[in-house]
A = this chain, B = another copy of it.
Amino acid sequence: MLKFHHDFSLNESPEHLGLMDKAYNAVKEENESGQIGYYRLPRDTLPMVDEVKKSELYLDSNIENIVVIGIGGSSLGIKAIMQMLPNQTTKPIYFLENSDPVNISQIFSKLKKSNTAFIVISKSGGTIETISIFKTALDYFKIDLESTDAKKIVAITDSGSSLSKFADEYKIAQYNIPFNVGGRFSVLSAVGIVPLVLAGFNATAILNGASEFLESFFARKEDHILRKALYYTQNADRQMINVVFSYASNMENLSKWYVQLWGESLGKITKTGKKVGLTPIGLIGSTDQHSFLQLIMEGPRDKTVTFINVENFENDLKIADISLKHIEKTDFINGNSFNNLINSQCDATKESLVQSGISVDSITYDKVDEENIGSTIIYYELLTSISGVMLDINTYNQPGVELGKTILEKKFK
């Protein structure tokens, strides 16, 4: 279960409440018309779990490592989920994404062909980092596509893409992403589910958690999303930075997933030519209390802060009940659990922000499990879609990245 609480107050005028209904209806229409596909992923991807479990690669007992070759929406969601469930797999997933030669070489050196599954993910099929690294991996590991080596490869891409045609050509296992699902909304499609199942995660529970939350939203039982989106978008000109402060070390990659989703979806030019956008920042508590907190407290009031905490880490490590000469000052927490300390730190920081008049809200996990992770993914995707409607932008494209790609091609051609 996730609990949501808002410490900011919304303008409750009929006009404002009407904006919420309007955005809800727009998103409902996106779903029902099939224009936008991610709403259907939690149900539609379920059969794929069993499909993967019957695949030759899943059943191959030699496989000990998974490599995902993919970048952006093709890696961030998988990384987020696996980091939050550190004890749910015995097969590590490695990521080849950046075009950094040091990074690629480091990962190559840890792997060998005989026990590795190679998953290449590109929605368009033409991502320059992904295809370049994939080809280099074929060369480095001496993978012969005409041999049984091809069975160790999986392609995840749009049906009919260049990568899809390549997979057909070499009889490589292939899973497709629905056309109406964008990269940053794709973690609950084959993009996330296939690697997670191959690595041994309980993807069914993630999808079920997502489904339940989605149904609850469309049953108007999660209207806090509408209220938060309205608050954020109505205040976008003065509170243009949205900080997510997660009190769990293992939520660092969840932050990165959120940063892509929020930043790339909402940073847009409106139909009337205005540049809008909300800037996402991910922090980890308590660590970043020693870094970024000062700026939130005393810097310009241009930030909202969402606190995420976990009520029960299911780990009972306690602060040793030892008093050491001269450093008795912190003895007042002796014998308490770290679980209690980190949650108290979250509460204390939140209260200090609320007292200072900063707009705060909270998401509380009862525990970190697959269902809650699935719910969190859908929560943020819905919040993004609703905010996009309210900002009157196209939430699902990314035209701003094209100029750099064109300039890059000119440097080589």
A positions within 8 Å CB-CB of B: 71-73, 76, 86, 97-106, 125-126, 128-129, 131-132, 135-136, 138-140, 145, 162-163, 165-166, 169-170, 183, 240-241, 247-250, 256, 259-260, 263-264, 266-269, 275-277, 279, 281, 284-287, 289-303, 313, 315-320, 322, 324-327, 329-330, 332-334, 336-339, 341-342, 344-345, 347-349, 351-352, 355-356, 398-401, 403-405, 407-409, 411-413
Contact of A169 among B264, B275, B326 (CB under 8 A): B326
| Contact yes or no, A162 B125, CB < 8 A | no
Starting from the known contacts A126-B327, A132-B319, 11 additional A-B residue pairs (CB-CB under 8 Å) come to A99-B341, A104-B338, A128-B330, A131-B330, A163-B327, A183-B290, A259-B291, A267-B296, A294-B399, A297-B401, A297-B403
Q: Is the CB of A294 within 8 A of B250?
A: no
Copies in the complex: 2
Contacts of A275 in B (CB 8 A): 298-301
Query: Nearest chain B CB to A79's CB is how many angstroms away?
Result: 11
**B99 and A260 form a contact (CB under 8 A):** no
Q: Can you name the residue of chain B whose Cβ is closest to the Cβ of A137? A: B320
Task: State in angstroms the CA–CA spacing of A132 and B290 once bound together.
Answer: 16
Q: Which of B136, B267, B348 contacts A317 (CB 8 A)?
A: B136
The reply to whether B412 and A332 form a contact with Cβ atoms under 8 Å apart is yes
The CA-CA distance from A314 to B122 in the complex, in Å, is 29
Least CB distance, A102 to chain B, in whole angstroms: 5
Is the Cβ of A286 less than 8 Å from the Cβ of B333? no
Q: Contact at B72–A291, with CB atoms within 8 Å?
A: yes
Chain B residues, CB < 8 A from A71: 286-287, 290
